[in-house]
Amino acid sequence: MYNRYIPPTKGRPTVDQSQTQPAAPVANFSAAQPYSRYIPGQAPAEPAPSAPPQPQRIVFNDADLPPIDHSKRARTLDEELPGCGENKKSKKTKSKRGKDVTEHGAGEESKSRQREKTVTAEENTVPETQPAANGDVLPDADAEPVPNSAEKRPKRDKKKKKKTIDRDGDTSMFDAEDDSIRQRHKGVFEKVQKALQVKEGVEDSDEEESEPAEEHGLEPLPQPEPVIFDESKLTYETLPPWLASPVRVGPGITRPFTKLGISAESSKVLESKGFGGAFAVQTAVLPLLLPSPDRQGDVVVAAPTGSGKTLSYVLPMVHDVSQSRITRLRGLIVLPTRDLVQQVQLACEACAPAFALNGGKRVKVGTAIGNRVFRDEQSTIMGIEQRYDPAGYEKSIQKRDRLTMVEDSDEEDDGFELNPTEPLPHHVITHVSKVDILICTPGRLVEHITKTPGFSLDYVRWLVVDEADKLLAQDFQKWLDTVMGPLSNTRPGARDFPTSNKSGVRKVILSATMTRDLSLLNGLKLFRPKLVVVEGTKAGEQNLPPLLKEYGVKVRDPSLKPLYLVELLRSKHIAPVSQEAPESMESDTDESGSSSSESESETDSDLSASDSDSESSSSSEDESNAKRTAASAPTKINSRPPKFPTTALIFTKSNESALRLSRLLALLAPDLAPLIGTLTSSTKTSRRARTLRAFASPSSQLRILVASDLVSRGIDLLNLEHVINYDLPVTETSYVHRVGRTARAGRKGCAWTLVEHAEARRFWREFAGEGNGAVTSIGREGTVERVNVVGEGGFGEEKVEEYERALEVLRREAVGGEGRR
Ligand SMILES: Nc1ncnc2c1ncn2[C@@H]1O[C@H](COP(=O)(O)OP(=O)(O)OP(=O)(O)O)[C@@H](O)[C@H]1O
């Protein structure tokens, strides 16, 4: 038939050269190699260097074949069969011999025999001119004898060879068979030869591929499936099902609480607090969080500003915690700012009485925001208890002595005495939580976890992360890892829900601009999460409240921007937004004991002055404003300045800008000065809280707040009618939160943005979603209207001079001249 090609080894002798006699440069591939096995899909290897002649290991007996450029052929085959020149490969070929014979039937017998000879020859690197065991000589005309090579031949090979020849009998028939093979496969040999003349490389392999390999019984070897790299980007469709298919709820839906699993008595109390029925987001979230026989998972909420997200988690949490008699820390609410913490505390306090009925206890709520010395804060959330335990008493005395020595310095740092009281005889002192629910900023929470003795999350079964996109994106002090660690501890029964079969930590994650970034959400280790989305008719990724109206105010001359603001404040546009005055939450707060309406009004009347005074303590510029404000403040309590019958919150880009603008406004519009307050992160927390309370009170004279982005998120000012972006917000998300301070809880509200020429393109495309190539993630019911508050002629000379005078005052105040210092 035909001979199988046994490729040369690449520079590695099959047999130790020292053992093999020099020999036999039988042929530098002088023997014809009529056939090679084609293996498709093999990448061409580097061409073998042609220069150094390899020790001859191939013995071939087809001397009659047409001459072939063997060096080229050898290279080509090596390329096709990477590694085929390796001895290892040859052995493989040999081991398959018997199988080949069986598979290809009798016709293949001689092929097999021929192969046998070749393999044997190759393995020994010796031309087969040595007498075989039976005295036969293999017909290898080109080979030269190698003296004593047989002695050095491994026994195994000898045996094989002997067996082969014995079986075949007369070897002379090989030649005849070879001739017949050549005759029968003449076409193939010609093709092979032709192929060898073709240039190497890709052309070679192409040509080889085009050969009908199957004609010769050489099926392409099965190749592994090509690996397809997935270069697709994460899209909405590739999100996990819970994110891609949220629970959707329309914005207008309301339902009575009794229909959602809250008892009639509790609903009544809630109604008395101003919560007559559930808002849309609450209709969807409450059933997922209130006790249910179903196995419940975590909840992620994306709903517009002012839609009532706070109550959607406060109600179920307070309801659940009220069912546990012993006070232990069972709920954690994490928020980004102190002001928000205080606001949510009021909401919890308002709801607590609703569940302190029928055996439920009144839930104790505490805060940790770092607004007071750490020791005081520790003592408000943690207490000590004397427990009778004689054995423990002995131990604790020893342990305390040890700890006191070690922790002396810590005690001073933390301010919290480990054991301020001596234990009673045979008693042990244990640290106990004074609160069921702790509302905190992330940084302070981490401090308590790491520094407050006895502070434990072992019994926590609620974790709420509000304004989650902000909190998760800014991992203050790695707070999430610090919290998630202890939350994964399991103490048998500690996290059992008393009114359902659930055990573990329930997580509720919320924002008006909720992230779908899985890398951020992953840290929360959510369990069977459900995403609840409140949508408008024109849904975007971040939806604005349905009753919000937006305006873009053109600022032609940025150097006179403060004058545009004054014009806007005095214009007919900034008028009271007609709407029914809803019941105020203030009374709820009063009932909860946080403040009384009497003291509130007193505080209000003081606040305008004292608040400004306090601002003065944090900023000298503001102090000047405050003194003037106090001087011109009306003496009559609750009198409302006629010049500004509405409310406005003005956002600037920084604390510094807020303070300066506030002062400038007072200089440019002295009649408005008494109405202006300032809120920045440099303002004391207690003062900020008072300012916010005063602003929210209808009886307060504070009507205008100039603020940094500190209060852009979450702050609930129900009576706020106008938001003014004096400086353009940095992101769409920031815009959504800022303007969302108005038009809350189903009320109307207006948002105004002062747009300079250089900002116009960005504002209209990215924020308003108008113009060529507009792309915005903001979903809104209407459109943003264009407004001019100054005519074509601009400001008169008199106004500009007035402005310059105000700037001069400001400048002098800044350098410590006239005004204050
Ligand atoms: N069921 C209800 N009935 C009446 N008022 C409600 C109800 N639920 C919430 N509110 C009021 O709606 C206002 C907005 O609620 P909340 O502050 O929870 O909004 P939010 O969705 O958290 O907004 P933001 O995203 O800005 O934080 C609050 O004054 C709250 O008291």
Q: Taking a C-beta distance cutoff of 8 angstroms, is the pair 461, 282 a contact? A: no
Residue nearest to atom 5 of ligand 1 (CA): 275
- Pocket probe mutation, ligand 1, options 270, 744, 748, max atoms within 8 Å of Cβ: 744
Q: Dihedral of CA 60/66/67/70: which sign?
A: negative
Q: Is the CB of 260 under 6 A from ligand 1?
A: no
CA of 658 to the centre of ligand 1 (A): 27
CA of 815 to the centre of ligand 1 (A): 44
Token pair, residue 144, equals 């030269």
- The pLDDT tens digits of the residues spanning 601-620 come to 222 222 222 333 333 333 34
Q: Is the CB of 512 under 6 A from ligand 1?
A: yes
Q: Is the CB of 740 under 6 A from ligand 1?
A: yes
CA of 309 to the centre of ligand 1 (A): 6
DSSP codes, 216-241: GT-PPPP-PPPPPP--PPP-GGGS-H
Beta-bridge mates of residue 503: 496
Q: Is the CB of 315 under 6 A from ligand 1?
A: no
Q: Taking a C-beta distance cutoff of 8 angstroms, is the pair 706, 629 a contact? A: no
Q: Is the CB of 467 under 6 A from ligand 1?
A: no
* Model confidence at 141: pLDDT above 80: no
Q: Looking at per-residue confidence, does 421 or 418 come out higher?
A: 421
Spatial distance between the Cα atoms of 611 and 311, rounded to a whole number of angstroms: 30
Residues near 292 by Cβ (< 8 Å), separated by ≥ 6? 261, 500
* Model confidence at 56: pLDDT above 60: no
pTM above 0.90, yes or no: no
User: In the structure, what pLDDT confidence band is assigned to residue 310 with cuts at 50, 70 and 90?
Assistant: very high
Q: Taking a C-beta distance cutoff of 8 angstroms, is the pair 702, 661 a contact? A: no
Helices 685-696 and 597-618: crossing angle, nearest 10°?
A: 130
pLDDT the model gives residue 71: 43
Residues near 382 by Cβ (< 8 Å), separated by ≥ 6? 416, 431, 432, 433, 434, 452, 453, 454, 455
ipTM of this predicted structure: 0.99
Q: Is the CB of 253 under 6 A from ligand 1?
A: no
Q: Taking a C-beta distance cutoff of 8 angstroms, is the pair 111, 83 a contact? A: no
CA of 714 to the centre of ligand 1 (A): 9
- The pLDDT tens digits of the residues spanning 752-773 come to 999 999 999 999 999 999 988 8
Beta-bridge mates of residue 704: 648, 676
State percent of the chain over pLDDT 90: 44
CA of 312 to the centre of ligand 1 (A): 9
pLDDT the model gives residue 189: 75
- The pLDDT tens digits of the residues spanning 792-808 come to 888 999 999 999 999 99
pLDDT the model gives residue 168: 41
Q: Looking at per-residue confidence, does 394 or 69 come out higher?
A: 394
What are the angstrom distances between the C-alpha of 181 and each of 58, 105, 187, 618, 808? 20, 15, 11, 104, 109
Spatial distance between the Cα atoms of 257 and 275, rounded to a whole number of angstroms: 9
Spatial distance between the Cα atoms of 250 and 532, rounded to a whole number of angstroms: 11
Q: Is the CB of 251 under 6 A from ligand 1?
A: no
Q: Is the CB of 335 under 6 A from ligand 1?
A: no
pLDDT the model gives residue 717: 92
CA of 512 to the centre of ligand 1 (A): 12
- Average pLDDT value over all residues in the chain: 73
* Model confidence at 428: pLDDT above 50: yes
CA of 477 to the centre of ligand 1 (A): 30
Spatial distance between the Cα atoms of 32 and 48, rounded to a whole number of angstroms: 19
Q: Is the CB of 746 under 6 A from ligand 1?
A: no
* Model confidence at 166: pLDDT above 60: no
Residue nearest to atom 27 of ligand 1 (CA): 714
CA of 285 to the centre of ligand 1 (A): 14
Q: What angle do CA 793, 798, 803 make, to 5 degrees?
A: 100
